[in-house]
């Protein structure tokens, strides 16, 4: 069980990253909270997030031709160990060892290794001399729009910016003819087009190509125009000014945009009063908030908790002792986040659930 201060120390946003810009467009208040908590997540992350960073690093090495089939296994093991050591230093042990907590980790390894057998599709002529700029920092004049581009490749007549993604890069929709089509997620297009504009600001030319590279080594080209990149950049600057003005005035109601898609996986929702006001009539996020009215302990140490929510009783059953729910005071308001729904009025917890004592405003 964790507690949140009733007073959040809001801070002005000093920089928008291309990778976070889309999230800021969807719900500016999410980025405000992230800045207030110094980007420390209030929710446990899935082990997939941690192994994703390992996969991302190896994808970069493969694209830069720094790996061979002979060295792959050693690099794979070393990167996983480095990530696990990093997690231990931060006190995060619930997902260690990663290999035991990430579904289909063997498949991810196979897909990565297969990339070594196929030449990167973003390069047309393998005989040309190519310059690789990995994790290249790009920013505007005052550093307010800035971020790290995964990979920039340059040869004598072409410049490409590539971004590596370890998850799904498309979504499906039905077009006007009733056909199912697959489109690149808009957030990735925003990100790469902002990088294109930052590259122009730094070097006076736009890149020729923008690519999303997935775990199957497929490179998907993002179509863009210079005007699109400029418009997104201006939108980012205007949004930064607007958000900082609201932070200064402590007016956040126009910045919060609660919805299932915006809130369900938000790492800062335990601190969001707007979310808590929206939640009681929108339980599809599998979070609940209410008055704790009963705790029942069993011989095995597990506890059942009952909350009073909107005139009805809701139970969270078989709570593991590690959650220390017995320390929760009856009559106080608690939020239970990341639950698994069992019945209409019954939930259970897992390793990615958490409990917060929610102060009332």
**CATH at 70:** 3.90.320
pLDDT at 124: 45
Query: Has residue 47 been placed in a domain?
Result: yes
Instruction: Determine the distance from the C-alpha atom of residue 48 to the mean position of all C-alpha atoms in its chain, rounded to a whole number.
Output: 11
The enclosing domain of 308 has a CATH number of 2.40.50.140
Between 55 and 280, the more confident residue is 55
Q: How far apart are CA 149 and CA 143, in angstroms?
A: 15
Number of structural domains (the chain) is 2
Question: Using CA atoms, how far apart are residues 52 and 44, in angstroms rounded to an integer?
Answer: 15
Whether 224 is covered by a domain: the verdict is: yes
Residues 283 and 247 in one domain: no
Record the tokens describing residue 133, joined without a space.
């700029």
Note whether 287 and 248 are same-domain residues. Answer: no
Each residue's pLDDT tens digit, 148-183: 999 999 987 899 999 999 888 877 766 666 666 677
Q: Which of 230, 254, 278 is the last residue of a domain?
A: 254
8 A C-beta contact, residue 315 and residue 306: yes
Residues 166 and 214 in one domain: yes
Same domain, 115 and 172: yes
**What string of H, E and C letters represents the secondary structure of the chain?**
CEECCCCCCCCCCCCECHHHHHHHHHCHHHHHHHHHCCCCCCCCCCHHHHHHHHHHHHHHHHHCCCCCHHHHHHHHHHHHHHHHHHHHHCCCCCCCCHHHCCCCHHHHHHHHHHHCCCCCCCCCCCCCCCEEEEEEEEECCCCCEEEEEEEEEEECCEEEEEEECCCCCEEEEECCCCCEEEEECHHHHHHHHHHHHHHHHHHCCCCCEEEEECCCCCEEECCCCHHHHHHHHHHHHHHHHHHHHHHHHCCCCCCCCCCHHHHCCCCCHHHCHHHHHHHHHCHHHCCEEEEEEEEEECCCCCEEEEEEECCEEEEEEEECHHHCHHHCCCCCEEEEECCEEEECCEEECCCCCEEEECCCC
Residues 97 and 245 in one domain: yes
Least confident interval from 4-13, 21-30, 199-208 = 4-13
Average pLDDT over residues 225-235: 98
Which pLDDT belongs to residue 168?
85
Q: For residue range 94-119, list pLDDT tens digits in order.
A: 889 999 999 889 999 999 999 887 65
Would 5 be classed as within a structural domain? no
Beta-carbon contacts of residue 102 (< 8 Å; ≥ 6 apart): 47, 48, 51, 95, 108
- Residue 83 in any domain: the answer is yes
Tens digit of each residue's pLDDT (9 = 90 or more) over 239-296? 999 999 999 999 999 999 999 999 999 999 999 999 999 998 887 889 999 999 999 9
- Ramachandran bin of 91, using left for φ above 0, alpha for ψ from -120 to 50, beta for the remaining angles: left
Q: pTM for this one?
A: 0.86
Q: Give the rounded percent of residues in the chain with a pLDDT score beyond 90.
A: 66
Final residue of a domain: which of 203, 229, 254? Answer: 254
Q: Is residue 1 part of a domain?
A: no
Whether omega before 64 lies within 30 degrees of 0, making that bond cis, reads no
Residues 162 and 307 in one domain: no
pLDDT at 46: 87
d(C-alpha 346, C-alpha 34), whole Å: 31
The residue ranking higher by pLDDT, 149 or 359, is 149
Among candidates 46, 28, 23, which has minimal Cα distance to 10? 28
Residue-range definition of the domain harbouring residue 100: 11-254
Residues 81 and 149 in one domain: yes
Choose among 46, 49, 48, 68: nearest CA to 58. 68
Q: What was the pLDDT predicted at 94?
A: 86
Q: Which of 113, 117, 83, 118 is nearest to 101 (CA)?
A: 83
Whether residue 302 is found in the same domain as residue 183: no
Q: At 352, give phi and psi (nearest 5°).
A: -105, 10
The residue ranking higher by pLDDT, 326 or 251, is 251
The neighbour count for residue 331, using CB atoms within 10 Å, is 9
Q: What is the pLDDT of residue 176?
A: 67
The per-residue pLDDT for 75 is 95
Is residue 3 a part of any domain in this protein? no
Q: Report whether pLDDT(123) > 50.
A: no
Q: Indicate if 320 and 274 belong to the same structural domain.
A: yes
- How far does Cα 142 stand from its chain's mean position? 26
Question: Which of 190, 223, 254 is the endpoint of a domain?
Answer: 254
CA–CA gap between residue 205 and residue 202 (Å, rounded): 8
End-to-end CA distance of the chain: 20
Specify whether 245 is located in the same domain as 289: no
70-77: average pLDDT: 95
Tell me, yes or no, whether 29 and 130 share the same domain.
Answer: yes
- In this structure, the answer to whether residues 196 and 178 fall within a common structural domain is yes
Q: Is 55 a domain residue?
A: yes
| 106 within some domain | yes
């Amino acid at each position: 069980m964790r507690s949140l201060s009733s007073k959040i120390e809001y801070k002005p946003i000093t920089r928008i990253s291309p990778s976070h810009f889309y999230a800021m467009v969807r719900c500016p208040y999410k980025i405000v909270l992230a800045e207030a908590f110094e980007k420390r997540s209030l929710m446990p992350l899935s082990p997939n997030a941690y192994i994703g960073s390992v996969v991302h690093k190896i994808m970069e090495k493969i694209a830069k031709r720094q790996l061979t089939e002979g060295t792959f296994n050693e690099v794979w093991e070393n990167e996983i160990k480095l990530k696990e050591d990093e997690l231990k230093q931060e006190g995060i042990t619930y997902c260690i060892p990663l290999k035991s907590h990430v579904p289909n980790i063997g498949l991810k390894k196979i897909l990565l290794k297969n990339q070594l057998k196929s030449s990167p599709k973003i390069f047309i002529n393998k005989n040309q001399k190519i310059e690789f700029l990995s994790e290249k920092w790009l920013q505007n004049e005052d550093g307010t729009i800035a971020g790290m581009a995964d990979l920039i490749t340059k040869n004598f007549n072409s410049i490409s910016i590539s971004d590596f993604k370890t998850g799904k890069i498309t979504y499906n929709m039905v077009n006007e003819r009733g056909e199912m089509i697959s489109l690149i997620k808009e957030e990735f297009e925003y990100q790469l087009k902002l990088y294109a504009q930052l590259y122009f600001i730094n070097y006076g030319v736009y890149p020729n190509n923008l690519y999303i590279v997935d775990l199957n080594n497929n490179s998907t080209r993002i179509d863009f125009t210079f005007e699109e990149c400029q418009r997104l950049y201006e939108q980012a600057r205007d949004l930064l000014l607007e958000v900082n003005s609201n932070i200064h005035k402590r007016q956040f109601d126009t910045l919060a945009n609660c919805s299932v898609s915006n809130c369900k996986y938000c790492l800062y929702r335990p601190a969001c009063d707007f979310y808590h006001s929206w939640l009681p009539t929108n339980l599809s996020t599998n979070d609940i908030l209410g008055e704790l009215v009963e705790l029942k302990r069993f011989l095995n140490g597990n506890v059942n908790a009952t909350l009073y929510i909107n005139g009805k009783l809701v139970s969270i059953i078989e709570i593991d002792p590690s959650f220390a729910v017995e320390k929760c005071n009856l009559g106080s308001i608690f939020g239970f986040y990341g639950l698994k729904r069992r019945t209409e009025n019954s939930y259970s917890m897992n390793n990615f659930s958490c409990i917060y004592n929610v102060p009332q405003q």
